[in-house]
Structure 1
Amino acid sequence: MYIDKDKAPLVEALMDYKRRAAKSFHVPGHKNGKAYDRFGGAGLLSEVLKIDVTEITGTDDLHHPEGAIQEAQELAADCFGAEESFFLVGGSTAGNLAMILSVCKQPGDVLLLQRNVHKSVLHGLMLAGAKAVFLEPEMDEASGLAVIPSLETLRAALEKYPESKGVLITSPNYHGMSSNLKEIAELCHAQGIPLLVDEAHGAHFGMHPDLPESALASGADVVVQSTHKMLAAMTMGAMLHVQGPLLDRRLLRQRLAMVQSSSPSYPVMASLDLARRLLHAQGPSAFTAGFAAVDALKRGLATLPRFGLLQPPQPGNPAAQGPCGGQALPPAQAHAAAYTRQDPFKAVIYDRTGSLSGYGLQHALEARGCVPEMSDERYVVLLFTLGSTEEDANHLLWALQHIVEEEEDLRPPDILNQLSTELTNVSTWNIPARTMSFSEPVQFSLTPMDPEHMESVPVENCGGRIAAEMVIPYPPGIPILYPGERITEDTAERLAALRDAGAKCQGAADHSIRTILVNKNPGKQGTI
């Protein structure tokens, strides 16, 4: 069947609506932006408001698509290699919720997933009343960052919990680190269960020979992508892709209707259509400018030895080593690498001298007109896309050069020295030390903990207690604690260190992270 890759059916329907300039007797209340005209206009929003419509004749219905939206989603499926694709107007969060609710159909259903997941995944478990078996992610020794669980860990968990309804993996992580998912998909399929992948940061994967393979191409059954993150959609624009027979698609549609607005944003959906068309029509050449920007950065960093660039270990490649002194792997050990692929558009840099933490380096860059995606104790994540330019890279290099010239003698506070010299567990989540590489089933629930059973204690004294609130360093939005989780002494120290380093956390009642809410009964582990 012929596919017109240049077509953008939803955009075309909205532009037709705008051209007709018909009188609006429907929502939204701004009436194509006219509500602002008598008060000075809507400024930059005026053109967007003219296509901010609702489900009327010609614009279709996201939750029962038969026209422009249906055609746009079919084009997206062709572009990304799915059997079916669904537009999301609530970001990957909506997709994560829907796919969990589609797999965990009854309270108590077991889902296997890595511990270092986005908060939306934990919220999905709560909504489903599911039991989570947390898989310990592998640690990349060179960088100290956590990635996906090993195949051996997953195999052992499946043997112990054969009743599991599915496996959920996050790949790539926020730092752009990923591995081949084919063996994981094959293991899941041998068990007759679907592989769910939160690929929020990998919507561009598989779209260019120099980019990692996509989760769909690796055999995943359900994949959620933030089209607004690494491609060109508006914020909140995302997609969910499905293939294979292991997911109830009728139920998935019903779950998507549950977690998404019945009045979805047409400008956001139109941006998804445009982002798809850009990729579909241009193919790999869409990334030419972005790769040129990345290459310019790499060439410049070679002249600035103070700053390192995160790369996966490669056999015989001494340049591919992390800040912890990790060496290139000998060929016989190359298969044992915790991660094998680095998204070239996630340039993760660090100060080799340890003088500047990731937080400090971010502040120094922002003072010079460069705004990074995120930072942690050691790293700064610089996000490039198909919209990046060599001019952007050159400005970044100028900023780094000035940091070297103006702050090379700067020494951080003791707390940052401590953080920058740790060799492991520098990621912003907690994996308690245990003899097993996966947890017992953890029951999640929407039932809140009774405030009378909570108390506030200093963070320094919370070790050994049961958390009564979620604590989420943001970004990356991965909870370091969830309610009902036992707080280890290491986690207590880590919370204090993150607080003193200036990390921002969501979820905690005390935004200063001086205190934390815990269960009054020190020995009781409650449901979430």
Structure 2
Amino acid sequence: MKLELHRAPLYEALLAYRDSGQRTFHVPGHKNGQVYRAAKHNESHLGREPLEQSQLHMVTREHVATGERQEPLQHTALWEEKHQEEQSQSNIVPTRAFLEMMRMDVTEISGTDDLHHPEGVILEAQQLAADCYGAEESFFLVGGSTAGNLSLLLTVCDEPGSIVLVQRNVHKSVIHGLMLAGAKAVFLEPWVDPTSGLAVMPSVQTVQAAVQAYPEAKGLLVTLPNYYGMGADLTPIARICHEAGMPLLVDEAHGAHYGQHPELPASALSCGADGVVQSTHKMLSAFTMGAMLHVQGTRVNRSLLRQRLAMVQSSSPSYPVMASLDLARQLLHVRGAQTFTAGLAAVSTFKRGLAELPRFRLLQPAALQQQVLSADVEPADQTAHASAAQPEQMHGQSAAAELGHAAAGYTAQDPFKAVIYDGLGILSGYGLQQQLEARGCIPEMSDERYVVLLFSLGSTEEDAQQVLQALQDISLASTEKHTRSPEESGEHMREEKHYISTWNNFQEKVTYSEPIPFSLQPIREEHTIEVAINECAGRYSAEMVIPYPPGIPLIYPGERISPTILARIQLLRDEGAKFHGVTDASLQTMKVMKNQ
């Protein structure tokens, strides 16, 4: 079958359904939004309902405070306001746009195909996706990348106790997949960028050592890029896995756009990955929860994968979400690299403007920092300029070469992830996010040092200008902040230092763990005790501690709580991070195992 790249077959099928005017005698129960349109029609024919007698003599706080004579409520402006408010609360009718979407919210009927046994428009849409993203086969996901990570692990871990090599700083969905599979995880220590203190992915040496130590492993799962858009070339890691006969699985949730433009890093598939999960909704144009799973080669059992997908995905998938995946693919197929022209122009505007705000800095790989310096400084002045630069600006290509292979842990940065921080160390990442939000700019996430500003193919020059103006206002306002104590200003004075990112407490000089068993067997309450967090060091956790975002567990149940990890949990707590998985959301206490 010849693929027609300009088409969006699933979306077109929904349009045809919407315009057919057929009577629906099937789910969903809202009947193409008819239930709300009927309510709206009825409301237009109804007069105002009288308020109850008890409501007629309510008085305002001002009446009570001043002792004024109480007037019946229906004779006041307050009565009118309250009546309208109650009417709107009791008869909320969806907007026209929402109702239009409901007309395309269908189910598996003639002409719309079946996600779990595609033979028509869904099959064609997935084939087009595979062609667009360079896969042999692609699957639509309606449960986000979580569904993809679960299904991949349940596929490669095809028997209880299967050993799988796993990068330690993975999303919580990977930990949940290990639990569902009853697998044994050999955790690999990620390489940590010495400049930023952020964990990226395991080094080639770590992968090689783990593969040699556990040749029976069913596969390797890594995350690339990380939440900050940091990464490196996956090709040598794919080669190591394939030489050992095991598949390379990649959680590329934040890299659905990779490989689609010369200025973007290479995609995991082009580097040789066997199974790749992408959140099409994160960096492309699909609806939230829309994602894709791409596979190539014979190392992933696709028949079993289809079964696993049917297990973890709804049997009633959202057709609007799937149609949005179809449209996101069609946009790339038709426009190609031009899809990203406007977004990259917005990023360029932002970076040029940021360079004029010396207080705020941009996280970039060392080689890119050197390129920026070289472009801005005359050759004769480069040495002097470099000596006066901050440490993160001093690592050029020659410095990277001196660092040897370790420097290869962070050689690529997603240009759409602008990771900024306060070079003066006055505002933490959380504090800077709050300041930006107060000025109408909502970042993707923050941590104790950094703020992640997420641009995309949908970003505009106006977006860049607004966030630059916000940063300029914040910078100007700092004059007053400097005259006040940290307690008065509500900000935390910070020292310039490295921050350890989310990775496990490995022993010194050991870059991978022993096989750690996971299961769905719950920890029984009588085996746990809740203790003050200051007393948790050395104990074994009975719960998962997950800063969110980015959703990477610092601790999983059964893991020993090291002093280093405990200190990091307390630091993030004190800086204002939000946590998933914990009983005490304030993290003044933690659940730990008894008698350990």
What is the TM-score normalised by the length of structure 2? 0.85
Deviations 1:262-307 (A, max 9, x none): 0000000000000000011000000000011000001101110100
Matched with 1:394 is: 465
1:490 to partner: Cα distance = 1.3
1:434 to 496, 508, 511: 508
CA distance in 2 between partners of 1:430 and 1:396 (Å): 35
Query: Is 1:357–2:424 an aligned residue pair?
Result: no
Matched with 2:395 is: 328
Give aligned-pair identity as a percent: 61
1:459 to partner: Cα distance = 1.1
CA distance in 1 between partners of 2:551 and 2:494 (Å): 20
What is the number of equivalent residue pairs in this alignment?
521
CA distance in 1 between partners of 2:119 and 2:371 (Å): 55
Distance 1:445 1:349, change over 3 A: same
Q: Secondary structure at the match of 1:464?
A: coil
User: Contact 1:73–1:85 at 8 Å: present in 2 too?
Assistant: yes
CA distance in 2 between partners of 1:272 and 1:16 (Å): 18
Distance 1:477 1:420, change over 3 A: farther
Distance 1:347 1:272, change over 3 A: same
Q: 1:49-128 alignment to 2 at 5 Å?
A: 49-128=102-181
Deviations 1:56-78 (A, max 9, x none): 00000000000000000000000
Matched with 2:562 is: 488
User: Contact 2:284–2:457 at 8 Å: present in 1 too?
Assistant: yes
5+ residue gaps in structure 2?
Answer: 41-92, 374-385
User: Contact 2:163–2:183 at 8 Å: present in 1 too?
Assistant: yes
1:508 to 582, 587, 593: 582
CA distance in 2 between partners of 1:224 and 1:143 (Å): 27
Matched with 1:469 is: 543
User: Contact 2:195–2:392 at 8 Å: present in 1 too?
Assistant: yes
CA distance in 2 between partners of 1:464 and 1:359 (Å): 29
Query: Is 1:380–2:451 an aligned residue pair?
Result: yes
Matched with 2:264 is: 211
1:325 to partner: Cα distance = 4.5
| Paired residue type of 2:367 | Q
User: Contact 1:113–1:168 at 8 Å: present in 2 too?
Assistant: yes
Deviations 1:456-513 (A, max 9, x none): 1111110000000001000000011100110001111111111111110011000111
Q: Secondary structure at the match of 1:38?
A: helix
CA distance in 1 between partners of 2:15 and 2:531 (Å): 57
Deviations 1:204-258 (A, max 9, x none): 0000001000000000000000000000000000000000010100000000000
Q: Secondary structure at the match of 2:452?
A: strand
CA distance in 1 between partners of 2:262 and 2:519 (Å): 43
Q: Secondary structure at the match of 1:359?
A: helix
Matched with 1:11 is: 11
Matched with 1:447 is: 521
Deviations 1:120-160 (A, max 9, x none): 00000000000000000001011110000001011111111
User: Contact 2:191–2:406 at 8 Å: present in 1 too?
Assistant: no
Q: Secondary structure at the match of 2:276?
A: strand
1:282 to 327, 332, 335: 335
| Paired residue type of 1:114 | Q
Deviations 1:364-398 (A, max 9, x none): 00000000000000000000100000000000000
Q: Secondary structure at the match of 1:289?
A: helix
Matched with 1:42 is: 94
1:422 to partner: Cα distance = 3.3
Matched with 2:318 is: 265
Distance 1:375 1:324, change over 3 A: farther
Distance 1:315 1:260, change over 3 A: closer
Query: Is 1:192–2:245 an aligned residue pair?
Result: yes
User: Contact 1:466–1:518 at 8 Å: present in 2 too?
Assistant: yes
Greater helix percent: which structure?
A: 2
1:4 to partner: Cα distance = 1.6
User: Contact 2:189–2:504 at 8 Å: present in 1 too?
Assistant: no
Q: Secondary structure at the match of 1:154?
A: helix
Query: Is 1:304–2:354 an aligned residue pair?
Result: no
Q: 1:156-175 alignment to 2 at 5 Å?
A: 156-175=209-228
User: Contact 1:212–1:343 at 8 Å: present in 2 too?
Assistant: yes
Report the more deviating stretch, 448-457 or 34-43: 34-43
Report the more deviating stretch, 490-499 or 470-479: 490-499
Computing the radius of gyration over CA atoms, which structure comes out larger, 1 or 2?
2
Give the RMSD, CA atoms, in angstroms.
1.8
User: Contact 1:115–1:136 at 8 Å: present in 2 too?
Assistant: yes
Distance 1:74 1:345, change over 3 A: same
Report the more deviating stretch, 409-418 or 113-122: 409-418
Deviations 1:23-79 (A, max 9, x none): 000000000001112323421410110000000000000000000000000000000
CA distance in 2 between partners of 1:147 and 1:346 (Å): 15
Q: Secondary structure at the match of 2:370?
A: coil
Matched with 1:314 is: 367
5+ residue gaps in structure 1?
Answer: 523-528
Q: 1:514-525 alignment to 2 at 5 Å?
A: 514-522=588-596
Q: Secondary structure at the match of 1:203?
A: coil
1:327 to partner: Cα distance = 2.8
Distance 1:202 1:240, change over 3 A: same
